[in-house]
Structure 1
């Protein structure tokens, strides 16, 4: 069976019925906080609590109402809430076994690929929402402190009545190949030696996704592309992106570093890529990200199946 690198792409499967129609129900959060079927996911500074390879989902408590509460939806017959905490102590950050019922605070990047698919998506939603609230405490119109509303999915300004919704920044990421089907890999300025990736960048106002692909490739490595094809997309709450993956074919092969973002870039045949990974000259990407899956689509095999024989 042909490889489908996007079949198990983390963070992309439904995590819960979001029940968007119920977010504005009067008393929705109070109702959920007193329901014995409700489960709570604790969130802080991009971390979630895990235990034995799964999210730690606990019953709601009276003290939860004193914190920022986000209604994530409904799963397995009950509401699921995220409760946002202040950044953890060093003991919590390292997962002290005596802390909070032996549950470790785990960075979502490290935990997502090992969580059940629905739980990973649930955690991504919670972290993305918490990040948005942390980054947008004030009304962008008048500067007054804004208040959570709509069960955590809106911030409302009590001064001017304006409502503000969670921000997601779309970004394109593209596996560029040349006429000989070689893959383009680049290393950004500031990245360590050996860390290479495919080309990515944010979508600009007034721009289609395909136009963003062409612009980013042109700006970063001076190449023109054609045959831009959508592959898959992935929420990326680090802190608030949606990564939209493509493949594209370069019309030429001469690389020109134009905007100063790229330190070095080059073309790789499949064998050259395998040899570079085996020698350590190129670090193999983790399969959490859509970036790795786009490389796998070109390579024709899973990256975590590579061994010393390539």
Structure 2
């Protein structure tokens, strides 16, 4: 995946005076995040629309995302004047750096909306580190933005076919690779094997990590894997996954073309993994030599 040019300013953001000065910087851009997690966007909804800061710096509501080529970016919980758009729309068209800015802005704003009080003693917390930490004045506890790990898996059978499933509540044609949250005390590898078995009754022979993506709906970190299936029998659980089966590349191409299959949005790691499989970049691994 392409690299992002966003500098998160890990050391500088610890200095409140320095962060406040960035708000006053004439080049500073602000990204508004509304109550539906939409962000300020260009009229054509193909890019972010930075807004100039208005009013004095407020550390409780102005959150420093980082800087790109020296230009500071802040996030603000607000309904932006002018056009806005969702990450589900923008994610498929934004370059990696702008996507990084937008994902971080939405994740930070949503966290602050829910983290106003200390989980230990109930005292109202104060924002520090440019919005990346909340500190409790009552018991001294520090709180940081949460990210919940989830696994998403491309399961391939011995012929290189890809397991795609249809989730409850999706429109009739939509499919994706299978995914689920990691449970407490569980390793990523255990979560992959459990989720695939629960949702499709497919046992796995091997698996490997391929990449990750933050997904702030509400605060997930999607961890992508490719796995080899033991056998070709599939039994969807009928609760989360209504149906699932293995598809060849030709079948996916034909059914996407005629509208009988709809794949995940381009901004998602699911789309990236499926695209890599369709392009032949992901396939069945050769068994290791003895």
Normalised by the size of structure 2, how large is the TM-score? 0.88
Aligned to 1:50: 41
Q: How many residues align?
A: 278
Q: 1:240 aligns with which of 209, 219, 222?
A: 219
Measure the CA separation in 2 of the matches of 1:300 and 1:78: 37
CA drift of 1:207 comes to 2.2
Residue 59 of structure 2 contacts residue 131 of structure 2 at CA under 8 Å; is this kept in 1?
A: no
Could you give the per-residue CA deviations for residues 247-300 of structure 1, whole angstroms, max 9, x where no partner exists?
A: 111101222234721111112122222232233222133221111121122222
More displaced 10-residue stretch of structure 1: 215-224 or 31-40: 31-40
> Equivalent residues in 2 for 1:61-100 (5 A)?
61-63=54-56, 65=58, 68-85=61-78, 88=79, 100=81
Could you give the per-residue CA deviations for residues 162-187 of structure 1, whole angstroms, max 9, x where no partner exists?
A: 11001011111111111122211111
Pairing 1:278–2:257 present: yes
Measure the CA separation in 2 of the matches of 1:193 and 1:202: 24
Q: 1:228 aligns with which of 207, 210, 218?
A: 207
Q: 2:180 aligns with which of 196, 201, 206?
A: 201
Q: Which runs of 5+ in 1 are unaligned?
A: 1-6, 93-99, 303-310
Residue 71 of structure 1 contacts residue 151 of structure 1 at CA under 8 Å; is this kept in 2?
A: yes
Aligned to 2:52: 59
- RMSD of aligned Cα (Å): 2.2
Measure the CA separation in 2 of the matches of 1:48 and 1:15: 20
Q: Which runs of 5+ in 2 are unaligned?
A: 282-290
Tell me the secondary structure at the aligned position of residue 65 of structure 1.
coil
> Equivalent residues in 2 for 1:29-48 (5 A)?
29-45=19-35, 46-48=37-39
Pairing 1:18–2:11 present: no
More displaced 10-residue stretch of structure 1: 115-124 or 273-282: 273-282
Residue 40 of structure 1 contacts residue 82 of structure 1 at CA under 8 Å; is this kept in 2?
A: yes
More displaced 10-residue stretch of structure 1: 115-124 or 250-259: 250-259
Residue 107 of structure 2 contacts residue 218 of structure 2 at CA under 8 Å; is this kept in 1?
A: yes
Measure the CA separation in 2 of the matches of 1:15 and 1:104: 25
Residue 177 of structure 1 contacts residue 183 of structure 1 at CA under 8 Å; is this kept in 2?
A: yes
Residue 15 of structure 1 contacts residue 120 of structure 1 at CA under 8 Å; is this kept in 2?
A: no
Aligned to 1:287: 266
CA drift of 1:236 comes to 1.3
Residue 72 of structure 1 contacts residue 81 of structure 1 at CA under 8 Å; is this kept in 2?
A: yes
Normalised by the size of structure 1, how large is the TM-score? 0.82
Tell me the secondary structure at the aligned position of residue 184 of structure 1.
strand
Measure the CA separation in 1 of the matches of 2:253 and 2:246: 13
Aligned to 1:4: none
